């Protein structure tokens, strides 16, 4: 759980200079990579929580919980981007003289959520394989 938390903090901290230096506009893969890794490490975080606190549940149920939790966080993140886009664009320009845009169009939102889901599925799949080899419940 600690590793996932550290990587989630790191992803969040990488996001700040990404906004400031507009890496989202300069590098198409920057946003894709952060959302994929965000989904992956959110899934890792919830998998560690389930392993520590809930024993004996089915693999399918745990996988659905892990991916569902990652998707929920992804949707909440998209709402946060929307709110930031509505309220923080002008203050960013006023204080930092940078035109920051926190959110793209509908295509960007769908792509972000897809990357969140793919990252979560990749982790859930690798987690299931690991658990299957060690015969954990």
Residue 120: CB atoms within 10 A of its CB come to 29
Sequence-distant (6+) residues with CB within 8 A of 115 are 32, 35, 36, 39
User: 57: part of which helix (H) or strand (E)?
Assistant: none
Task: Quick: pLDDT tens for 21-34.
Answer: 888 889 989 999 99
Contact 70, 117 (CB under 8 A): yes
Sign of the C-alpha dihedral, residues 92, 82, 8, 14? negative
**Residue ranges of the domains in the chain?**
2-134
* pTM for the predicted model, two decimal places: 0.84
Task: Quick: pLDDT tens for 109-120.
Answer: 999 999 999 999
């Amino acid at each position: 759980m600690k590793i996932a938390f550290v990587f989630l903090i790191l992803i969040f901290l990488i996001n700040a200079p990404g906004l400031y230096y507009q890496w989202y506009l300069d590098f198409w893969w920057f946003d894709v990579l952060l959302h994929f890794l965000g989904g992956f490490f959110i899934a890792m975080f919830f998998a560690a929580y389930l392993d520590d606190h809930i024993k004996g549940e089915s693999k399918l149920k745990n996988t659905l919980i892990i991916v569902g939790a990652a998707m929920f966080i992804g949707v909440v993140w998209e709402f946060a981007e929307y709110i930031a886009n509505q309220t923080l664009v002008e203050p960013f320009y006023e204080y930092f003289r940078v035109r920051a845009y926190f959110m793209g169009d509908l295509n960007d939102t769908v792509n972000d959520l897809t990357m969140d889901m793919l990252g979560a599925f990749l982790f859930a799949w690798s987690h299931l394989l690991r658990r299957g080899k060690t015969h954990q419940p």
